[in-house]
Amino acid sequence: MGGVTIPLPRGADPGAPRLADIAAQAEVSEATVSRVLNGKVGVATATRHKVLAALDILGYERPVRLRRRSAGLVGLVIPELVNPIFPAFAQVIEQALAGHGYTPVLCTQTPGGATEDELVEQLEARGVTGIVFLSGLHADLASDPSRYNRLAARGVPFVLINGFNESISAPFVSPDDRVAASIAVRHLVELGHERIGLAIGPTRYVPSRRKAEGFTAALHEYLGLPQGEAERLIQRTLFTVEGGQAAALALLDEGVTGIVCASDPMALGAIRAVRQRGLEVPGDVSVVGFDDSPLIAFTDPPLTTVRQPVRAMATAAVGALLEAVGGNPVQRTEFVFQPELVVRASTAQVPRSGRPGA
């Protein structure tokens, strides 16, 4: 099975059976690995990608003949990297783009750094093939949506994730935020909670607005609360641990026994607030997050959360973008994906007293 010499990864054992390692990692035969490394025909594209991924994971350099030219640059504009859901999206998007031969260019906004408009200018200057926007200004109803229509007029294909805006003619990919809030409320109601609060971001953000709508509708459906009373159980804050903590403290003053949060970091802040009051999660107060961010299953306690279908959404976004890049008509609409409740240890039956600390 000669033909290609595989450079050893740094620190690797020179006597290691390299083809066997790659084959085991890729879950294919050694013969298939050999065919890929020697550039032979007759290997499915998906299988070839698995072998190349195995090379990367094991730390081997790809043979020169396998280093293909990029089909083009694609910009990925995200608001920040602190919230782990954004790197999770970025990783799947970058993998999907790489699988089609495109090179992703990650652009992250930071306080005091480049704005979204400035990042777009830089990407256009580099001749990007298209742009993926994740939770950008399109999700902020207080921003000017015409910037995206001007981008389209300049012939730059793009797709928008999280935050539908009917004033923008482009494909959108979103989770069903109303359903996300509703299934979180239903879960807590089924556990006996009757006083449930919501910690979300400012109203001007589309996901926050939709979650609030789903929350108030669910409280009315499951507990019979009128909209005015449900609104008093909503705290609008920042999408951070500190924001979640501040919102939870205010909600605890309202006597809630369950708190639904618009992000996992906010939920961690809510747990901190509960403990600050000398209470326990979930013994006194149940907390539900949103996103199912990486590592969130290993918090203390492991967090019950509403899982955002990251892989499906990211793959759909890349697919829509590449259709536009290929000159094929793309439906200018919103593709909505269903979230999923993941029950862990931060939610439990309501305390017998019905009020925390009572």
284 falls within a domain: yes
Q: What range defines the domain where residue 200 resides?
A: 177-307
The predicted pLDDT at position 212 comes to 98
The predicted pLDDT at position 69 comes to 63
Are both 32 and 62 inside the same structural domain?
Answer: yes
Can you list the alpha helix ranges (DSSP code H) found in the chain? 18-26, 30-37, 45-58, 85-99, 116-125, 146-153, 177-190, 206-223, 227-231, 241-253, 264-276, 310-325
Report cis status (omega within 30 of 0) of the bond before 226.
no
pLDDT exceeds cutoff 70 at 222: yes
Are both 186 and 274 inside the same structural domain?
Answer: yes
Mean pLDDT of 169-195: 98
Domain boundary among the residues 262, 291, 307 is at 307
Q: Which residue has the higher pLDDT, 3 or 21?
A: 21
Q: Which residue has the higher pLDDT, 331 or 152?
A: 152
The predicted pLDDT at position 29 comes to 93
> Alpha-carbon torsion 228, 229, 230, 236, what sign?
positive
What whole-number percentage of the chain has pLDDT above 70?
92
Are both 99 and 59 inside the same structural domain?
Answer: no
Are both 181 and 303 inside the same structural domain?
Answer: yes
Q: Which two tokens stand for residue 224?
A: 């019979």
348 falls within a domain: no
pLDDT tens digits along 37-62: 887 888 887 888 788 888 888 888 87
Confidence grade of residue 2 (pLDDT, cut at 50, 70, 90): very low
The predicted pLDDT at position 16 comes to 42
Lowest model confidence (mean pLDDT) among 72-76, 98-102, 155-159: 98-102
Q: Say what the pTM is.
A: 0.84
Are both 214 and 294 inside the same structural domain?
Answer: yes
Are both 165 and 314 inside the same structural domain?
Answer: yes
Confidence grade of residue 14 (pLDDT, cut at 50, 70, 90): very low
DSSP 8-class letter at 331: -
The predicted pLDDT at position 59 comes to 83
* Residue of 288, 283, 300 whose CA lies nearest to 350: 283
* CB proximity list for 248: less than 8 A, separation 6 or greater: 197, 199, 235, 259, 269, 270, 272, 273, 274, 287
Are both 133 and 199 inside the same structural domain?
Answer: no
Give the DSSP letter string of 222-274.
Answer: HH---HHHHHTTEEE--SSHHHHHHHHHHHHHTT-SEEEESSHHHHHHHHHHH
pLDDT exceeds cutoff 60 at 9: no
Amino acid present at 312: A
Are both 171 and 313 inside the same structural domain?
Answer: yes
Mean pLDDT of 196-221: 97
12 falls within a domain: no
CATH number, domain with residue 62: 1.10.260.40
CATH number, domain with residue 241: 3.40.50.2300
- Cα separation, 124 vs 118, in Å, equals 10
Q: Is 195 helix (H, G, I), strand (E, B) or coil?
A: coil
- Cα separation, 263 vs 307, in Å, equals 10
153 falls within a domain: yes
Q: Which residue has the higher pLDDT, 289 or 59?
A: 289
Mean pLDDT of 191-213: 97
- Cα separation, 22 vs 57, in Å, equals 9
Mean pLDDT of the chain: 91
- Cα separation, 312 vs 316, in Å, equals 6
105 falls within a domain: yes
5 falls within a domain: no
The predicted pLDDT at position 236 comes to 98
7 falls within a domain: no
Mean pLDDT of 94-100: 89
- Cα separation, 274 vs 281, in Å, equals 7
Q: Are 257 and 356 in contact (CB under 8 A)?
A: yes
Are both 322 and 239 inside the same structural domain?
Answer: no
9 falls within a domain: no
CA 310 to chain centroid, in Å, comes to 5
pLDDT tens digits along 236-249: 999 999 999 999 99
Are both 99 and 133 inside the same structural domain?
Answer: yes
Are both 327 and 253 inside the same structural domain?
Answer: no
User: How many folded domains does the chain comprise?
Assistant: 3
Mean pLDDT of 307-328: 95
> Residue 211: how many CA atoms within 13 Å on its side-chain side?
33
Confidence grade of residue 355 (pLDDT, cut at 50, 70, 90): low
* CB proximity list for 141: less than 8 A, separation 6 or greater: 165, 204, 205, 206, 209
Are both 146 and 221 inside the same structural domain?
Answer: no
